[in-house]
Each structure stands twice: as structure tokens, then as C-alpha cells.
Structure 1
Amino acid sequence: MQLQDLLSLSTTSQQSLGDLVHAELSAAIVDGRLPQGERVNDKSIAEALGISRTPVREAMQRLTWSGLLEVSASRYTKVTEVTDEMAASTLEYAVLQAGNALQLATTRMTDAQLDGAVALLDQMIEASDADDTERLVAGSRDFVIYVIRHAGNPNLLRVLQNENPVIERNLRHAPLDVGTPEQRRGGYRRLRMALLARDADEAERWFRVQCQLLGAAGVGVVAPNAAA
């Protein structure tokens, strides 16, 4: 398939052209339109998008810094390939960052925001008890995105926004074992109790216990430009 059929830019966004190209290339790598090992160059991408090469070069440089592209000087630029080690280390990093966000959010959220977090957790509990894996995975990501947004730390939010594409791409290759409803039941309810008690240490502890069961599903990632 030709690049023209794979890539496109939004005509309504207020973002800069470089940001638009970066977002489109990131999404194409994450969802597999640009597969692992695929060789790319600024000329062909610019032609496919109908723009100059300058914003494409800017976007590709950012993707190289983030680890989605790799460059062999004077030879090629290609989409990086995810090794088992990369997937495992990304999962470890994402769990640590999400746990840190939960630690902060548990004591910083307003009462209304806390109610929102508990409501999301209740949806996860309902999905878990019904053994609805797809809904549980989606609910887990929604919960983590929510606590990151309400952690009250703009630096953490900005870092995770910038790293979101490579985290999401690598996590898709991390092991996923959601366990059984019986294995999950107690941990989720203890996490709920810790949230209601605003016990940050207990909340983080039980979150990490659940992540050990959920693998990649337990650590959602923050969407770019997530609104508070």
C-alpha cells in the first residue's frame, strides 16, 4: 500500500504543521500502519502528505529522540523494532509512573474528583466480576488516565504526554495475563477502600498488585493533549 493511502493530516486542527506530522506518524507507528522495521524518508512522507520536507524532518527527529525511529547515518531511517526487553522495561516504567500519579492524586483530588475516580474503579470491578476482559482493559486505561490528569503535577503530565506514543506502542507487545475474577476481586476492593480513605500508600500498593495481574492492561497511558 502506498504512503498516500496510509497517512493524512487534519485540516481543522490548530496545531503547527510539525506537530500534526508528528502526531500522524506516531499514530501510524502505534497502530501498525508503519510496521516495525519499515524504512521511511522525509521526501516520501512529505510527498504523501502534500507538504514540504521541513516539518517532516522536524517530526522525524522528535520520533528518533523518543525511540520510535532509529537512524543509521547516511544509510536509512526505520521504525524501531520492539524486543521483549523493551516491552518489559516499558511496562515497568509505565507501572512506576502510574503508581506515582495515583499516590499524588489520592490526596490531591477534590471530593468530586475522588468520586469520579471511584466511579471508574467501580466500572472496572463490574467488568472484572463479569470476566469481561475487553471492558476491564478499557476501564483500566480510563482509570489511569484519570488519576494522571488529577495528580496535580504538570511536569508528570507533560512527560507522559510526550512519551505516550512509544509507551503505548511498546505496551502492545508486553505480556497480558488478566488472571481470574477471583484473583482480582480482593485487590480491587482494597484499592477502592484505600481511595475512599485517601490512603495514598495503600492505594499505590494495591494498584501495583493489580498491575502484576493485568500486565500491560493495567497501565493505561495518557492521551496527548488530555484535557483536565
Structure 2
Amino acid sequence: MGIADAKLDERLRLHENGAVSLGDRVDDVLRDAIVAEQLEPGERLSDKEIAEVLGISRTPVREALQRLTWIGLVEVSPSRYTRVTEVSDELAAGSLEYTVLQAGLAMQLAVQRMDEAELAEAVSYLDRMIEAADQDDSRALVGAARVFIGYLARHSGNAVLARVMLEAAPLLERNLRRVRFDTSPRSETYRQMREAMLARDADAAESLLRRPLRPWGD
């Protein structure tokens, strides 16, 4: 798929906000397009072409591409190419491992620190994961898990953890789509996790969240 096919110009208009810089808006648009794989792994990116499609100067595009390079969605070889990063099996597995470890820490802190209303909302997001697992929908499960884990991080009471996980979220979501999860045994684990959270048993909830998540066939 080419840059023009991703309809980036339409997305940029949807992101219009006087309080947000043009560079930030371009960053959001490109990030969303890469995560959704409208800009596919390995696809070459031209700041000139993107700027022309968006009808803006190249400076904010270059700024956005630099930020995306920092978080791992874009890679640059000077004087050769700028392209969307590929997702190898090793990278997908590493992303899964990182997500589980960080999510376990967020769970431990959040269960102890959330008030009752926040806990109830967290459980409602977990219910979406349970529904996706019941329906054996691996893709929906990844999306629901992203929302759930993001909520835990924001309510962990640890600003550093929340910031790091927020920055990594787009990269992890894109990479984890390459992992096909066996959803069948997860429903019961998530239901047990739900009960542990409601009981404020942070250790049990963390342990359940950190159970090995194995791809199909492992």
C-alpha cells in the first residue's frame, strides 16, 4: 500500500486541534497508519511524498519520522532509506515478554492503589478481554488487552511506568498482531484474575497476568 492510499490527508484533518503542534499531529497520523498496517512493514517512507500528500512542509514530517524512529516503528539508513520496521518472530516474542512483565508490575501497583470506581472500570476492560477470549478472537484480544493494560498503567500511581508504557504501546500493539494467541485456555485465567482484582489480591492478580502466553503451536 502506498502513502497516498493510506489517506493520510484525511486523517490529518481529523486530528486538527489548535492546541496541538503540526508535528504532533503528523506523528499521530503516521503512528496510527503504521499500527493499523496501512503503512506496511518494510514500506519505504519519503518525507517529501508525505508532505505533498498532507499539503504541508517537510519539517513537521521529518520531526514526526524522527520520533517514530525513537520508538521503533521506523528505521533509517542514512542516504539509503527510511522505512517502516519489519516485525520478525523474535521481535514479536520479545514484545510479548516485555508486555507481560510490565503489565504485571502495573497490575500489582494499580490493584493496591485504585479506588472502588477505578477498580470497577478496570474490571470492565478485563471483561472485554474475557469476551474476546470466549469468542476465540485473537486480534480483538490484543486490542482489549492494550486498553486494559494502559488503564492499569495510568492508575498505577507510578508516573515513570505510565509514561514508558504509553510511549511503547503503539509499537507493542503492532508487533503483537504478529503473534497468534491460543485464546481457548485464557477465559478461565481471566475470570480468576477478575476475582483476584475484586478481592484486592494484587499478588494473585499479577501471577495470573504473568502466566506464560504462548503462540499457536508452542
Q: Would you call these one fold, judging by a TM-score over 0.5?
A: yes
- Matching residue of 1:202: 204
Q: Equivalent residues in 2 for 1:4-83 (5 A)?
A: 4-6=4-6, 7-8=8-9, 9-10=12-13, 12-13=16-17, 14-83=19-88
Residues in 2 aligned to 1:35 and 1:106: alpha-carbon distance in whole angstroms: 37
SS, match of residue 210 in structure 2: helix
- Matching residue of 1:112: 117
Q: 1:81 to 1:125 in 2, by over 3 A?
A: closer
Q: 1:32 to 1:115 in 2, by over 3 A?
A: closer
Report deviation, 1:2: 5.3
SS, match of residue 86 in structure 2: coil
Task: Using the aligned pairs only, state the percent identity.
Answer: 53
1:4 partner letter: A
2:174 to 166, 169, 172: 169
- Matching residue of 1:157: 162
- In the superposition, the TM-score normalised over structure 1's length comes to 0.81
Number of matched pairs: 209
Stretches of structure 2 lacking an aligned partner (at least 5 in a row): none
Residues in 2 aligned to 1:56 and 1:126: alpha-carbon distance in whole angstroms: 39
Higher mean displacement: 68-77 or 80-89: 68-77
Stretches of structure 1 lacking an aligned partner (at least 5 in a row): 217-228
SS, match of residue 88 in structure 1: helix
Contact 1:105 1:147 in 2 (8 A): yes
Contact 2:2 2:39 in 1 (8 A): no
- In the superposition, the TM-score normalised over structure 2's length comes to 0.84
- Asked if residue 132 in structure 1 is aligned to residue 127 in structure 2, the reply is no
